Amino acid sequence: MIKLKNLIWTAFALSLYSCMVSAPAVPETEVRVTLDESVAIEIFKDSGTRFITLYSEEDYRKAFLDYLKSSMNERKLIIDNTNPVFSIAITKLELTEISTLDTVRDERSPDNGRVFDIAIANGKVSGTITNLATQKTETWTANRDKKERLTSFQSPAQIIKGENKDLNEYRKKDFDKNEFVSIAAQCGQQAAKEVGNSVRRQLK
């Protein structure tokens, strides 16, 4: 009898759990849009610039547009110049690199008080989306920030050499040389998200 009750309660619990778990989201319907690909690129840098000049404006434009269009396609925003419902325009993509100072503040470290040059990266994109049926236009922005940071964790080289076992020697985790290409691409992904949200909101 006890076993039967246990089986009944187990079945009930499983049934309740299945009710609590939400059903998979219904795929969004495709929406046809036009996209103006003439993206203006603005680059800002200071005297400490180390990364942003490694690539050209065209490289950044291509990375941005490639990821924007790929992410739009994933969100079922289909580029169609024949029968579009919305028109998407990119006002500009701003990429900024500035340098600042960061000081080690760790009394147990021999590097306490040491000052490092730190790079800060910022990408910001803005644009508009127009409902061609109502001529209603919304503006949107998307951005991505990142900065180099200090760490006392062992680097691969330190691990191999058996150095910094006490984790008290600080170093800077440098940006990758492709950092701003990645920033531009991520701005494209974020832009697609903002555009997609605007489209779905206007279609409700």
Per-residue exposure over 44-80, b if at least 16 CB sit within 10 Å of its own CB, e if not:
eeeeebbbbeebeeeebbbbbbebbbebbeebebeee
Domain ranges of the chain: 27-203
Residue 146: predicted pLDDT: 94
Nearest to 109 by CA among 162, 174, 171: 171
CA separation for the pair 82, 183 (Å, rounded): 32
Q: Which of 27-31, 39-43, 87-91, 94-98 has the lowest mean pLDDT?
A: 27-31
DSSP 63-119: HHHHHHHHHHHHTTEEE-SSS-SEEEEEEEEEEEEEEEEEE---TTSTTTT-EEEEE
Residues 6+ apart with CB under 8 A from 139: 126, 127, 128
CA dist list (Å): 75 to 122, 193, 198, 199 = 25, 8, 12, 10
CA separation for the pair 113, 150 (Å, rounded): 13
The pTM (predicted TM-score) of the whole model is 0.80
Instruction: Report the CATH architecture of 27-203.
Output: 2-Layer Sandwich (3.30)
What mean pLDDT comes out for the span 87-92? Answer: 97
For 172, counting Cβ atoms within 10 Å of its Cβ (0-12 exposed, 13-18 middle, 19+ buried), the class is middle
Q: Give the tens place of pLDDT for each residue, 167-186.
A: 888 999 999 999 999 999 99
Residue 2: predicted pLDDT: 45
Q: Give the tens place of pLDDT for each residue, 101-148.
A: 999 999 999 999 999 999 999 999 999 999 999 999 999 999 999 999
Mean pLDDT of the chain, nearest integer? 87
Whether residue 130 contacts residue 137, with contact meaning beta carbons closer than 8 Å, is answered with: yes
CA separation for the pair 201, 9 (Å, rounded): 43
CA separation for the pair 148, 37 (Å, rounded): 31
For 43, counting Cβ atoms within 10 Å of its Cβ (0-12 exposed, 13-18 middle, 19+ buried), the class is middle
For 14, counting Cβ atoms within 10 Å of its Cβ (0-12 exposed, 13-18 middle, 19+ buried), the class is exposed
At 48, is the pLDDT very low, low, confident or very high (cuts 50, 70, 90)? Answer: confident
